[in-house]
């Protein structure tokens, strides 16, 4: 089996690569060209001669670059296409709304257009997001909840989400939206709040940092584990028919609760180190974000397994190891 | 000094050396960085201080293809100088991504000029455009000077030619202080690892420590004029301090083949490169530039700039650095087993 992954250098992309390689797939990743060759999440596979160049291949392209995307896809003819790439930081989308739209919304349209002309078309997985619901009136949300985004990121994802449906219904593409709630891991980028917290806890424990500065700590989220979500994405493409699925844990926790789990794990009291900075506050804060993943359980046999406390502990342990190893 | 500068491409080789230079001179330095969920600031991490500690270096998210965000940024920062170093900078890759390369290296430069033109109406700004010796392509005269006609041989070179002429156009039409630095190849320990010189020093040092067996290259007979990036960013700054805007060739005035560079690097490590190098046609260019040799006499005369580092010294600097890197990798490997 052959798969293409956009966003392969990101958190989810790297876990999906691990999963597909373990299942014996040939994996092709799309990467942006940069003069810094930093792809830390893929380092191991990239430098493994038995994998890179034999079962894992990387190709230069960009979500805005239709001609090279088309050429790559016509050359590879994948069975499955996992579209995980985009400008993935919600807070930042308020500062760079145009690029966010160009990459996340238009980028998805470009890919759908190319896939439409491939014969046969690969099965297509789109990494959608609960941000498309904005501030929903009912909680928890399911696949029928109305789309009502309140961030430029959410608006771009909503556009992409709706297009996938249109290509599925009117053009017969096997396309699925994985409507993901927050999902974290030790590979999460450092400017997402959970990782920012676990790194701070580890650094404060080792005396390398004095305080942790955050925005709104009463903000609540439904936080799951990235490797588990990626397993669900794969299962979605193995179904007999394409559908959209909510991927979530069904419980919410506040940022302050996460801080408590993380700091407690290293025997510290977060209140002694936390400081508030309005700079990190969002212009609009979404409320009531809690996902109902009953359909995923019924159709895919998928349910989340890792509690938030366990996730926090895993991430803190990883960051402590990394910091100790480097010093 | 109280001056401020905006650098696009600050995470790249030149951007990082230029940021260091300007910070030493007391500038407030702003950098434009593309957003990615992987960190890309490896070359400038040592310069970065937390925002609460009143740093001289500030980074901003943006993209050369996002003209609106760029203009907003320039208008809010009001820098005294803008250095447009950001680009899709790999010639071979440009054959696979020609449209993207034009949008970033060509139209991106235009976006920078436009933003500068708007700022210039309110407050004077000086702009440096990173032009390239690749524009000379299949060279029409040797050595190449500021008046040698261009003959680009790649989508990268074509995009850079576009940006070069737009810079001059903005100078003439709008009185913008814009300069083209026509830099010949410039290397360093921070050079990207897919550029041939660094590819060679990385491979040779890893081969020396038994971490790698072979080095695959393309055309070994291509000749280039290679300088040290750290010397070259000084020239960029000098151009913007001059009393009038102008274009300058920045080069060493000597040319060497890839074979020559292989000799220098492998002999320093007491190895015979012929035993380890194999040709892979994947690395050949669809259209090759056989020879580049620059004449920097205008820069010598007008700016008082000249290259200080010979290609032998350059190879030494890079080999020393990469040997350290390879030793660390060897240590890490034994640590994990």
pLDDT (tens digit per residue) in B11-24 = 999 999 999 999 99
Question: What are the tens digits of pLDDT across the range A157-188?
Answer: 999 999 999 999 999 999 999 999 999 999 99
Confidence of residue A288 (pLDDT cuts 50, 70, 90): confident
Specify whether the CB–CB gap between B250 and B229 falls below 8 A. Answer: no
What backbone phi and psi angles, to 5 degrees, belong to B84?
Answer: -90, 90
Chain B, 46 to 65: residues with Cβ < 8 Å from chain A are 52, 61-63, 65
Distance CA B37, CA A190 (A): 8
- Tell whether the model's pLDDT for residue A34 goes beyond 70: yes
Distance CA A38, CA A248 (A): 31
What pTM does this model have? 0.83
Question: Which residue of B35, B202, B329 is the best one to mutate when testing the A interface, meaning the one whose CB has the most A CBs within 10 A?
Answer: B35
CB contact under 8 A, B37 and A10: yes
Comparing CB atoms, the residue among B34, B35, B97 nearest residue A89 is: B35
- Reported in sequence order, the residue ranges of A244-325 that DSSP labels E, i.e. its strands, are 245-247, 253-254, 274-276
Residue in A145, A178, A88 with CA at minimum distance from that of residue A290? A145
Alpha carbon B333 to its chain's center = 32
Q: Give the CA count within 13 Å in the CB-facing half-sphere of A47.
A: 13
Question: What are the tens digits of pLDDT across the range A77-124?
Answer: 999 999 999 999 998 899 899 999 999 999 999 999 999 999 999 999
- Tell whether the model's pLDDT for residue A16 goes beyond 90: yes
Question: What are the tens digits of pLDDT across the range B257-312?
Answer: 999 999 999 999 999 999 999 999 988 888 889 999 999 999 999 999 999 999 99
Closest B-chain CA to A59: B96
Q: Is B42 on the interface with A (CB under 8 A)?
A: yes
Q: For residue A122, give the 3-state DSSP assignment.
A: coil
Residue B246, Cβ density class (10 Å: 0-12 exposed, 13-18 middle, ≥19 buried)? middle
**Residue predicted with more confidence, B335 or B61:** B61
pLDDT for B52 equals 64
CB contact under 8 A, A33 and B88: yes
Interface A–B counts its CB contacts (< 8 A) at 92
- Tell whether the model's pLDDT for residue B336 goes beyond 60: no
pLDDT for A126 equals 98
Q: How far is A321 from chain B (nearest CA, A)?
A: 13
Region A212-224: mean pLDDT is: 93
For A5, A64, A304, B230, the CA distances from A292, given in Å and listed in that order, are 27, 34, 11, 56
pLDDT for B335 equals 61
Q: Give the CA count within 13 Å in the CB-facing half-sphere of B190.
A: 17
Residue B141: how many other CB atoms lie within 10 Å: 11
Here the ipTM equals: 0.71
- Above pLDDT 90, what percent of chain B? 88
- Tell whether the model's pLDDT for residue B1 goes beyond 60: no
pLDDT for A283 equals 74
Distance CA A198, CA B56 (A): 28
CB contact under 8 A, A98 and B68: yes
In the numeric block, the tokens 């003209």 are attached to B67
- Above pLDDT 70, what percent of chain A? 100
Region A32-46: mean pLDDT is: 88
Alpha carbon A60 to its chain's center = 21
How open is the CA angle A167-A168-A169, to the nearest 5 degrees?
95
Pairing of strands B256-257, B223-224: antiparallel
pLDDT for B288 equals 85
Region B70-88: mean pLDDT is: 97
For the ranges A191-195, B50-54, B207-211, B310-314, which has the lowest average pLDDT? Answer: B50-54
Distance CA A304, CA B296 (A): 64
pLDDT for B50 equals 65
Distance CA B215, CA B194 (A): 12
Chain B, 174 to 193: residues with Cβ < 8 Å from chain A are 192-193
- Tell whether the model's pLDDT for residue A138 goes beyond 90: no
Q: Which residues does chain B have within 8 Å of residue A98's beta carbon, measured at their own beta carbons?
A: 66, 68-69
Question: What are the tens digits of pLDDT across the range A142-151?
Answer: 999 999 898 9
- Tell whether the model's pLDDT for residue B228 goes beyond 60: yes
């Amino acid at each position: 089996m052959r798969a293409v992954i956009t966003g392969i250098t990101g958190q989810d992309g790297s876990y999906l690569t691990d999963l597909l390689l373990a299942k014996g797939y040939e994996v092709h990743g799309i990467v942006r060209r940069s003069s810094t060759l930093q792809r830390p999440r893929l380092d191991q596979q990239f430098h493994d001669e038995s994998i890179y160049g034999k079962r894992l291949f990387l190709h230069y392209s960009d979500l805005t670059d239709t001609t090279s995307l088309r050429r790559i896809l016509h050359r590879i003819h994948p069975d499955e296409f996992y579209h995980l790439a985009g400008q993935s930081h919600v807070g930042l989308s308020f500062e760079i709304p145009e690029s966010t739209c160009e990459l996340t919304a238009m980028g998805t349209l470009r890919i759908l257009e190319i896939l439409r002309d491939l014969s046969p078309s690969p099965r297509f997985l789109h990494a959608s997001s609960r941000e498309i619901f904005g501030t929903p009136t009912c909680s928890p949300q399911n696949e029928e909840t109305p789309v009502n985004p309140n961030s430029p990121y959410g608006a771009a994802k909503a556009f992409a989400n709706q297009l996938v449906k249109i290509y599925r219904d009117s053009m017969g593409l096997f396309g699925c939206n994985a409507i993901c709630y927050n999902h974290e891991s030790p590979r999460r980028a450092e400017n997402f709040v959970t990782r920012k917290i676990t790194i701070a806890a580890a650094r404060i424990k080792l005396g390398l940092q004095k305080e942790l500065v955050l925005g709104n700590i009463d903000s609540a989220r439904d936080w799951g584990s990235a490797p588990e979500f990626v397993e669900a994405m794969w299962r979605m493409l193995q179904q007999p028919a394409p559908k959209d699925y909510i991927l979530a844990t069904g419980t919410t926790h506040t940022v302050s609760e996460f801080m408590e789990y993380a700091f407690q794990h290293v025997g510290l009291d977060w209140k002694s180190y936390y400081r508030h900075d309005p700079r990190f506050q969002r212009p609009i804060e979404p409320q009531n974000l809690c996902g109902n993943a009953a359909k995923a359980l019924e159709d895919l046999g998928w349910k989340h397994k890792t509690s938030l406390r366990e996730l926090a502990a895993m991430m803190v342990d990883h960051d402590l190891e990394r910091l100790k190893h480097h010093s | 000094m109280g001056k401020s500068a905006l650098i696009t491409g600050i995470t790249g080789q030149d951007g990082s050396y230029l940021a260091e230079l300007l910070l030493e001179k007391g500038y407030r330095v702003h950098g434009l960085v593309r957003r990615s969920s992987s960190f890309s600031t490896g070359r400038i991490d040592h310069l970065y201080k937390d925002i609460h500690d009143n740093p001289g270096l500030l980074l901003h998210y943006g993209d050369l293809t996002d003209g609106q965000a760029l203009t907003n940024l320039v208008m809010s920062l009001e820098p005294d100088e803008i250095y447009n170093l950001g680009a899709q900078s790999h010639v071979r890759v440009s054959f696979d991504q020609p449209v993207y390369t034009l949008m970033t290296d060509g139209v991106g430069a235009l976006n920078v000029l436009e933003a500068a033109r708007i700022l210039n109406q309110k407050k004077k700004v000086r702009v440096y455009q990173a032009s390239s010796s690749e524009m000379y392509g299949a060279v029409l005269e040797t050595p190449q000077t500021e008046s040698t006609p261009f003959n680009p041989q790649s989508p990268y070179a074509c995009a850079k030619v576009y940006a070069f002429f737009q810079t001059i156009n903005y100078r003439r039409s709008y009185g913008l202080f814009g300069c083209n630095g026509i830099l010949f190849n410039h290397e360093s320990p921070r050079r990207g690892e897919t550029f041939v010189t660094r590819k060679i020093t990385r491979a040779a040092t890893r081969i020396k420590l038994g971490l790698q067996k072979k080095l695959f290259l393309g055309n070994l007979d291509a000749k280039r004029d290679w300088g040290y990036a750290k010397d070259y960013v000084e020239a960029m700054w000098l151009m913007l301090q001059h009393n009038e805007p102008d274009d300058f060739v920045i080069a060493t005035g000597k040319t060497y083949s890839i074979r020559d560079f292989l000799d220098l690097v492998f002999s320093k490590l007491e190895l015979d490169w012929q035993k380890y190098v194999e040709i892979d046609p994947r690395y050949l260019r669809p259209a090759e530039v056989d020879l580049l040799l620059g004449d920097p006499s205008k820069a010598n005369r007008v700016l008082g700039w000249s290259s200080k580092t010979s290609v032998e010294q350059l190879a030494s600097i890079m080999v020393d650095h990469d040997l350290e890197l390879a030793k660390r990798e060897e240590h890490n490997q034994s640590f994990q087993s």
